């Protein structure tokens, strides 16, 4: 019987918000357990001076003010000059995001890329928002202003000095302060550094450097040089915020002081990336093996969401253990829709639009309930990111809308809203649903995680043919190339592929065995295994007869085949895994003498001239039992 799951990620039932609605872009079923699952203490309520919207509403943690990470670049390179996003281009983007219900965006630098007029891409963004607010009193868009921080010699051929900072940091700070002063109704948060402390970042700096800059901004705010309601933070990986706990490489006095100095913790969590390094994460557990692909994916996405929440909960615990109680907001998390390295079919199989939407829905649901802002990464695909020579690099595909105006599954229902408003983006004159809005076409691109190897230890009185691995010295092979046989080492599954074109006049066959070696299996009384068929047309199973059994060296040059027939006499091949335990005495031709000289303790073949089909047979957990 298939296991019943309460899956909160429902593929085909998604409600999207329209312009001016007070709901998330997408709504999923409530995450079962909510805060209790991840072990959270309730989010504290902001007091004193804190970022507010134009009407006085609390900005951060308010589900009426959805947030997203924003990058404006539409080109394959990011550099100063003609490619720098203009005010007009960014006005297009802000209108699109506003129509999607987004009211808070996050940026990453202040002055590094200048257009032909000498104005930075970030200042162009603030000009664009300022003009839109002047043109329409109902228009709102607020900014979490990123200030890029890196170590001395970062992005050069020189050795990086992580406890010293680059000269460019002072320029970033100065530009950030000026922009916050010039646009106090727009810039509501200043984030000093983006993943600037996490050790895997080649440009990372010591926490003391971030702490000193945060203190500088807090002093300016206290002096009235900056808006008193602006919040100051740094936005970094969960490890940098202490999720690894006391005694870790990140646990130090400067970090503890930093946590006490920022106005809130801006946390990054990426199960999409982190789970790749967890060997067991993207494997289907044995108790989910009988679920459909969609159910297996849904279950994996529940795990992915809880992965993210657990990291956030660990950060909160570290903070509370310091005697500090502040809000935590998700400064960045996201999910790529395309990948051909690491996260694609050759790796974790994590990247696709279905999983992106599932993760988005789940995280929006939780953050809205918890009272946290979620700066989902990101609004639009940016072609300059990642490997310039690889169009399938996942870094290029984190957006909700791609560069050609295809709106991904997460926001399909917003396409009419965007088009009815007459919104455009560069050469994109109309937005379209990815996959032409066809869910079946989309689902064809969705891969389930690999099946987990079965780690059952051999029991007393058991001879394991194929468990997590084949028995010592054994291999899987086809007989005279009449069939293909092989073991998937990731899943520990034997696959036998049959093809009428490969069969000979005597039939076809495959087996597991050891060349020149026999086994004495005379003490065993049963064979057990799980089997299923894999084909594009299930109807062929009913007419596809074949034999399953073993081979001994009795009976001349080709030995003796001992077998039961499938799709007759009660043994059936179906698309679902079925476990059979068969008495050895029930196999045709079995003899006491033959059991002492078994050369292939498992075989699949057909020597009876039955109708053969082009399909595959999968088998796992093969043993002989006493």
User: What does 499-526 look like in DSSP terms, one character per residue?
Assistant: -TTT-BTTBEEEEEE-TT--B--TT--E
Q: Read off the tokens for 269.
A: 């969590």
Q: What is the pLDDT of residues 485-512, one digit of tens each?
A: 999 877 889 999 888 888 898 899 999 9
Q: CB under 8 Å to 457, separation ≥6 — which residues?
A: none
> CA-to-CA distance for 374 and 376, rounded, in angstroms?
6
Cα separation, 554 vs 324, in Å, equals 78
CA dihedral (353, 358, 363, 364) in degrees, to 10, reads 80
Question: 202 near 154, Cβ under 8 Å?
Answer: yes
Query: Residue 542 has what pLDDT?
Result: 58
Residue of 135 and 612 predicted with greater confidence: 135
The rounded distance, in Å, linking the Cα atoms of 503 and 480 is 9
- Residue 66's DSSP bridge partners are 102
List beta partners, residue 283: 450
Model-wide pTM > 0.75: no
Residues 349 and 342: their CA atoms lie apart, in Å, by: 8
Tokens of 551: 């081979």
Q: How far apart are CA 167 and CA 280, in angstroms?
A: 43
CA angle 76, 118, 172 (to 5 degrees): 80
d(CA 281, CA 292): 18
- Whole-number pLDDT of residue 614: 75
* Mean pLDDT of the 340-357 span: 91
* pLDDT score, position 454: 57
Helix (H/G/I), strand (E/B), else coil: 256: helix
Q: Is 139 exposed, middle or buried (0-12, 13-18, 19+ CB in 10 A)?
A: middle
pLDDT in tens, 155-211: 999 999 999 999 999 999 999 999 999 999 999 999 999 999 999 999 999 999 999
Here the contacts of 252-256 (C-beta below 8 Å, separation 24 or greater) are 252/207, 254/206, 254/207, 254/208, 254/211, 255/197, 255/207, 256/322
Q: Say if residue 529's pLDDT is above 60.
A: yes
Helices (H) and strands (E) in the chain, counts: 11, 27
C-alpha 337/C-alpha 446 separation (Å) is 10
| pLDDT surpassing 70 at residue 8 | no
Which residue would you say has higher pLDDT here, 290 or 116? Answer: 116
Q: How many whole angstroms separate alpha carbon 222 and alpha carbon 207?
A: 22
Q: Contact 205/162 with Cβ under 8 angstroms?
A: yes
Predicted pLDDT at 22 = 30
DSSP 282-349: TEE-GGGTTS-HHHHHHHHHHHHHHHHHHHHHHHHHHHHHTT----EEEEEEE--S--SSSSSTTTT-
Give the per-residue pLDDT at 82: 95
**pLDDT band at residue 221 using 50, 70 and 90 as cut-offs:** very high
Quote the mean pLDDT of the chain.
90
Q: Tell me, what's the pLDDT at 11?
A: 30
> Poorest-confidence range of 63-67, 129-133, 263-267, 274-278?
274-278
- Model confidence at 126, in pLDDT bands (50, 70, 90)? very high
What's the mean pLDDT in 94-121?
Answer: 97
Which residues does 388 contact at the CB level (< 8 Å), separation at least 6? 76, 77
Q: Facing residues of 113 across strands?
A: none
Q: How confident is the model over 41-83, as pLDDT tens digits?
A: 999 999 999 999 999 999 999 999 999 999 999 999 999 999 9
Which pLDDT band holds residue 10 (cuts at 50, 70, 90)? very low
Of the candidates 383, 257, 366, which has an alpha carbon nearest to the alpha carbon of residue 307? 366
Give the integer Cα–Cα distance in Å for 256 and 33: 31
The beta-strand segments (E) located in 149-219 are: 151-152, 161-165, 187-194
Is 465 in contact with 473 (CB distance < 8 Å)? Answer: no
Region 86-104: what's the mean pLDDT? 98
CB distance 573 to 533 below 8 Å: yes
More reliable by pLDDT, 544 or 270: 270
User: What number is the average pLDDT over the span 529-553?
Assistant: 77
Q: Among 104, 34, 116, which Cα is nearest to 69's?
A: 104
Are 102 and 66 in contact, with CB atoms under 8 Å apart? yes
Distance CA 605, CA 548 (A): 7
Strand (E) or helix (H) holding 579: strand 578-583
CA 609/CA 620 separation, integer angstroms: 26
DSSP 8-state assignment for residue 493:
E
Please provide the size of the chain in residues.
626
pLDDT at 24 over 60: no
pLDDT at 365 over 90: yes
What pLDDT, in 10s, does the model give residues 369-384? 999 999 999 999 999 9
Confidence class for position 452, pLDDT limits 50, 70, 90: confident
Whether the predicted pLDDT of 602 surpasses 90: yes
* Cβ–Cβ under 8 Å, residues 394 and 9: no
User: What pLDDT is stored for residue 575 in this prediction?
Assistant: 80
Residue with tokens 């047309």: 537
Burial of 208 (0-12, 13-18, 19+ CB in 10 A): middle
Nearest of 495, 485, 487, 451 to residue 469 by alpha carbon: 487
- Which domains, from first to last, does the chain contain? 15-443 (3.20.20.80), 454-625 (2.60.120.430)
**Residue 55: phi, psi to the nearest 5?**
-90, 5
Please give the share of the chain, as a percent, with pLDDT higher than 90: 77
């Amino acid at each position: 019987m298939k296991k019943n799951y309460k899956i909160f990620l429902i593929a085909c039932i998604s409600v999207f918000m329209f312009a001016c609605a007070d709901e998330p872009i997408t709504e999923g079923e409530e995450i079962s357990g909510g805060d209790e699952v991840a072990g959270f203490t309730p989010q504290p309520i902001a007091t004193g001076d804190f970022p507010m919207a134009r009407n006085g509403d609390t900005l951060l943690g308010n589900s009426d003010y959805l947030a997203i990470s924003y990058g404006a670049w539409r080109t394959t390179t990011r550099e100063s000059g003609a490619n720098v996003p203009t005010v007009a281009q960014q006005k297009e983007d802000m209108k699109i995001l506003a129509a999607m219900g987004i009211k808070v965006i996050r940026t990453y630098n202040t002055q590094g890329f200048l257009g032909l007029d000498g104005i930075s891409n970030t200042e162009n963004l603030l000009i664009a928002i300022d003009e839109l607010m002047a043109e329409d009193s109902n228009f709102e868009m607020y900014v979490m202003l990123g200030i890029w921080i890196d170590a001395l010699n970062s992005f050069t051929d020189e050795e990086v000095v992580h406890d010293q900072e680059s000269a460019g940091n002072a320029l970033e700070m100065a530009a950030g302060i000026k922009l916050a002063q010039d646009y106090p109704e727009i810039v509501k948060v200043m984030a000093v550094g983006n993943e600037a402390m996490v050790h895997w970042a080649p440009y990372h700096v010591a926490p003391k450097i971030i702490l000193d800059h945060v203190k500088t901004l807090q002093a300016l705010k206290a002096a009235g040089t900056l808006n008193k309601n602006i919040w100051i933070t740094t936005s970094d990986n969960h490890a940098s915020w202490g999720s690894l706990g006391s005694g870790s490489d990140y646990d130090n006095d400067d970090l503890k002081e930093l946590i006490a100095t920022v106005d809130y913790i801006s946390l990054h969590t990426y199960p999409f990336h982190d789970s790749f390094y967890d060997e067991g994460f993207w494997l289907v557990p044995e108790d989910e093996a009988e679920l459909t692909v969609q159910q297996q994916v849904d279950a994996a996405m529940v795990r992915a969401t809880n992965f993210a929440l657990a990291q956030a909960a660990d950060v909160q615990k570290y903070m509370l253990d310091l005697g500090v109680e502040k809000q935590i907001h998700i400064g960045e998390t996201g999910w790529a829709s395309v990948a051909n390295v690491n996260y694609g079919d050759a790796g974790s199989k994590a990247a696709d639009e279905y999983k992106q939407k599932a993760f988005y829905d789940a995280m929006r649901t939780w953050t809205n309930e918890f009272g946290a802002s979620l700066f989902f990464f990101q609004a639009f695909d940016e072609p300059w990111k990642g490997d310039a020579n690889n169009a399938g690099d996942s870094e290029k595909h984190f957006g909700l809308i791609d560069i050609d105006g295809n709106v991904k599954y997460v926001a399909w229902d917003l396409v009419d809203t965007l088009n009815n408003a007459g919104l455009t983006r560069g050469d994109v004159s109309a937005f379209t649903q990815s996959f032409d809005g066809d869910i079946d076409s989309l689902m064809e691109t969705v891969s389930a995680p690999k099946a987990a190897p079965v780690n059952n230890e051999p029991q007393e009185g058991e001879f394991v043919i194929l468990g997590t691995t084949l028995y010592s010295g054994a291999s899987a092979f086809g007989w005279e190339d009449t069939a293909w046989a092989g073991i998937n080492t990731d899943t520990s599954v034997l696959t036998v592929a049959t093809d009428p074109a490969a069969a000979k006049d005597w039939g076809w066959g495959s087996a597991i065995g050891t060349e020149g070696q026999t086994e004495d299996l005379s003490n065993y009384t049963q064979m057990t295994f799980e089997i299923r068929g894999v084909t594009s047309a299930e109807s062929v199973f009913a007419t596809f007869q074949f034999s399953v059994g073993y081979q001994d060296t009795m009976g001349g040059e080709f030995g003796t085949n001992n077998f039961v027939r499938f799709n007759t006499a009660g043994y059936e091949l179906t698309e679902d895994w079925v476990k059979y335990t068969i008495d050895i005495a029930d196999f045709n031709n079995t003899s006491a003498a033959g059991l002492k000289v078994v050369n292939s303790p498992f075989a699949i073949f057909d020597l009876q001239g039955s109708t053969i089909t082009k399909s595959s047979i999968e088998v796992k957990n093969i043993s002989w039992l006493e």
